[in-house]
A = this chain, B = another copy of it.
Amino acid sequence: MIAVLKPDTTEEQKNSLIDWLKGQNVEVHESRGKEYTVLGLVGNTGGIDVELVESLSIVDSVKIVSDPFKKSNRKFHPENSVIRVGDIGIGDGSCVLIAGPGPVESREQIVGLAKRIQKAGAAILKGDAVHRLSSPYDQSDPDANYISLLLEAKKETGMPVMSEISGLEQISRFEEVDLIQVATRSMQNYELLRELGRMGKPVVLKRGLSNRLKELLVSAEYIMAGGNEDVILCERGIRSFETYTRNTLDLSAVPMLHELSHLPVLVDPGRATGSSALVDPLARAAAACGADGLIIDVHQDPLHAPYDGARSLTPDQFAKTADHVRRIREVLS
C-alpha cells in the first residue's frame, strides 16, 4: 500500500501517522518528492482500513499495490482453471451451453425440454427449483421445491443440472445439484458465499447489477478462501442509464476477466437484455470474444411461461443459436 501525504503535512503529523501504522504491524518506507511525501507500507497491510487512511486530513490519496483477490488471480496461477461438472470441462477452450427454462414447472416440461436442448447442443440443464417471487402479492410457497424434477431430467438425459440459490436458508436443498448458481442479487451475500466455500460443489457466481469486476473477484475469493476453488464467473449485464435494453451487457468483462483471473467466464445474454430477439446476436458476440460458456433460457412456449418468457428462446431458436456459436468457435480455434 502506498499513502501520498499532502504538501503541507508537518513533520509531527507525519510521525504520528507513521507511529499509528507501525502500531498495526506494518513497516513504513518514506520517500520525498518535490511536493509530496510518499509512504510505502510493507507487511501485513491487509489489516489496515484503507478508507480510514484515505480519510485522514493529511493524506492526499492511497494506492493499494496488490490486488484484493489472491486465489483467483492469474498472476499467481497463470494457467486457465478447468472446472469439471460431470463429464463437462468449463474453461477448457470450448464454449459450453447451459440451457433450460426459468422456473421448472412439471416433469413433462423439464424432461421434454432437456431432450430437445441436449439434441441442439446444450451440455448442462438449468432451471429454477426455488421459484422467484414475481410480485409483492405473489402467494408462492417458499418451500416448494422442484429439484427432484430436475434430477429426473438428469436421469433421463445424463446432463448435469444447474439451479439458482438466493439465500443461505435454501442451502440444504442444493445437495444433489451439480452446479450451484448464485443469484445476481446475492453476489455480495458474504455469509452465503462463505458457506458455499465449505460445500465442495462448483459454483457459478453472477456479477451483481452494479458491481465492478474487482468486486466480483473479491466475492469469488470469499468462496475460494473456504477451500472451494471451483468458481465460474458470469457476466449478465450491468445497470446503466440506457433504457431501450433492460441492462447493459458488458462484454469487455470477458477478455478483461480472462486477463485478471484464471477462472472461466460465462455470459448470460438474455438476462442482460431482457429480450429474446437480442439473445442470438449477443450469444454470437460472447462466443466470438472468448466466453467459456453461455447461459440461455429456453422454454417450450415462451408466451405462457410463468416468468422470464420475454427472454426465453424456443427450442428451435436455441438450436440456431447453438449452431452459430459452434461455427464461430470453430473458425477462431
| Residues of A near any B CB (own CB < 8 A) | 2, 4, 6-8, 20, 29, 31, 33-36, 38, 40, 42, 46, 49, 51-52, 54-55, 57, 60-61, 63, 65-66, 68-69, 75-76, 132-133, 135-137, 142, 166-169, 185-186, 188-192, 194, 208-210, 212-214, 218, 221-222, 224-225, 238-246, 248-252, 254-256, 259-260, 272-278, 281-282, 284-290, 302-303, 305, 307, 309-311, 324, 327-328, 330-332
Q: How far is the CA of A275 from the CA of B259 in the complex (A)?
A: 12
Q: How far is the CA of A209 from the CA of B60 in the complex (A)?
A: 26
Q: How far is the CA of A243 from the CA of B142 in the complex (A)?
A: 32
21 contacts between A and B (CB under 8 A): A7-B76, A33-B40, A35-B66, A49-B309, A54-B275, A61-B63, A61-B65, A63-B63, A239-B241, A240-B240, A240-B248, A243-B243, A244-B260, A251-B251, A281-B289, A281-B290, A282-B289, A285-B288, A327-B332, A328-B328, A328-B332
Give the residue of B2, B63, B310 whose beta carbon is less than 8 angstroms from that of A55: B310
- If A40-B38, A63-B2 touch, whether A136 touches B225 (CB-CB below 8 Å) is yes
Give the residue of B20, B75, B210, B245 whose beta carbon is less than 8 angstroms from that of A256: B245
Q: Are A310 and B259 in contact (CB under 8 A)?
A: no
Q: How far is the CB of A287 from chain B (nearest CB, A)?
A: 7
Q: Are A46 and B194 in contact (CB under 8 A)?
A: no
Q: Are B192 and A210 in contact (CB under 8 A)?
A: no
Q: Which residues of B contact A275 (CB under 8 A)?
A: 54-55
Q: Are B133 and A191 in contact (CB under 8 A)?
A: yes
Q: How far is the CA of A168 from the CA of B60 in the complex (A)?
A: 36
Q: Which residues of B contact A189 (CB under 8 A)?
A: 166-167, 185-186
Q: Are B218 and A52 in contact (CB under 8 A)?
A: no
Instruction: Please tell me how many copies of the chain the complex holds.
Output: 4
Q: How far is the CB of A168 from chain B (nearest CB, A)?
A: 5
Q: How far is the CA of A57 from the CA of B303 in the complex (A)?
A: 12
Given contact pairs A7-B76, A51-B246, A284-B332, a sample of 19 additional A-B residue pairs in the complex whose CB atoms are under 8 Å apart: A4-B65, A33-B40, A36-B65, A51-B310, A55-B276, A55-B310, A61-B65, A133-B190, A137-B225, A185-B188, A210-B210, A210-B239, A238-B241, A251-B285, A252-B282, A255-B282, A284-B288, A324-B332, A328-B328
Q: How far is the CB of A157 from chain B (nearest CB, A)?
A: 28
Q: How far is the CA of A166 from the CA of B248 in the complex (A)?
A: 27
Give the residue of B186, B249, B310 whose beta carbon is less than 8 angstroms from that of A54: B310
A49: nearest chain-B partner, CB-CB = B309
Q: How far is the CB of A257 from chain B (nearest CB, A)?
A: 9
Q: Are B238 and A248 in contact (CB under 8 A)?
A: yes
- If A52-B302, A289-B282, A289-B284 touch, whether A192 touches B167 (CB-CB below 8 Å) is yes
Q: Which residues of B contact A287 (CB under 8 A)?
A: 288
Q: How far is the CB of A279 from chain B (nearest CB, A)?
A: 10
Q: How far is the CA of A69 from the CA of B224 in the complex (A)?
A: 40
